[in-house]
Amino acid sequence: MLTLSLPEADIPVTLIRRPRQSIGIRVRQGRVELIAHPAVPLATLQAVLEKRRSWILQHWQMQQQRGAELAAAPLRLLLAGQPLDITHVAGQRPAARLADRTLQVAGVAEHDRARLDAIVAAWLKREAARRFPARLAELARHSLRQPASLALSSARTRWGSCSAGGAIRLNWRLVQAPLDILDYVLAHELAHLVHMNHSAAFWSETERLFPHWRTARQWLKHNGDTLFAFG
């Protein structure tokens, strides 16, 4: 078990073992991700954490501030990058229905944020299940290998994944992002059907499928946390 003790808090560290030459560090949603080869001993990884302490603290503080700003901001819902208003309507049964640019939510009191989150998240998941297959089919027309299946993911740290058998999973929260961002993640996973790594050949295939991948990747880095407002 790895941890990093800072003056503000003890930050949990998630260790991800993958075949790779270097040791990677990411700070996501208040925790540290350490990516390393299975053969790298824990003592070495702990030393790396201590060496990068200042960098980790800086990014952790930035994310804490960003999270506080999001929590204080007015409730905001996005669908394909476009804002939707949320209104409460009469009705005892929990339900959500889109009317023009407004999501009408029934069966929840206005002050019950947890219940509202659950209803909106369930609606977003249904929208993702309805919208994602068509976008995948469109991009897969140009893919060197066809995906075997598509499923939704609720991962907190990954936007998509692809198995060796061709099964693609997409984070349902991407239904809130602009269409280009969804297409980038789809292209990323389709490229993994051909290259199960992040080699130069992989990024070349990603670029062939979606030339503007760098811009979309930066968008996710800077705005991805806004997609976690619900669920």
Q: Which domain holds residue 191?
A: 77-228
Under 8 Å between Cβ of 29 and 63: yes
My answer on whether 34 and 93 are in the same domain is no
User: What confidence tens digit (pLDDT) does each residue in 36-76 have?
Assistant: 999 999 889 888 888 888 888 888 888 777 666 555 555 67
Of 72, 101, 120, which residue sits at a domain end? Answer: 72
User: What confidence tens digit (pLDDT) does each residue in 195-228 have?
Assistant: 999 999 999 999 999 999 999 999 999 999 889 8
Q: Is the dihedral of CA 199, 201, 203, 206 positive or negative?
A: negative
How many domains does the chain fold into? 2
Give the predicted TM-score (pTM) of the model.
0.71
My answer on whether 217 and 120 are in the same domain is yes
**The tokens of 227 are what?**
């997609």
My answer on whether 90 and 204 are in the same domain is yes
Instruction: Tell how strand 10-17 and strand 3-5 pair up.
Output: antiparallel
pLDDT given for residue 196 in this prediction: 92
Q: What is the CATH number of the domain that holds 95?
A: 3.30.2010.10
- Cα–Cα distance, 200 to 30 (Å, whole number): 31
My answer on whether 135 and 207 are in the same domain is yes
- Cα–Cα distance, 89 to 108 (Å, whole number): 9
My answer on whether 129 and 142 are in the same domain is yes
Of 72, 100, 132, which residue sits at a domain end? Answer: 72
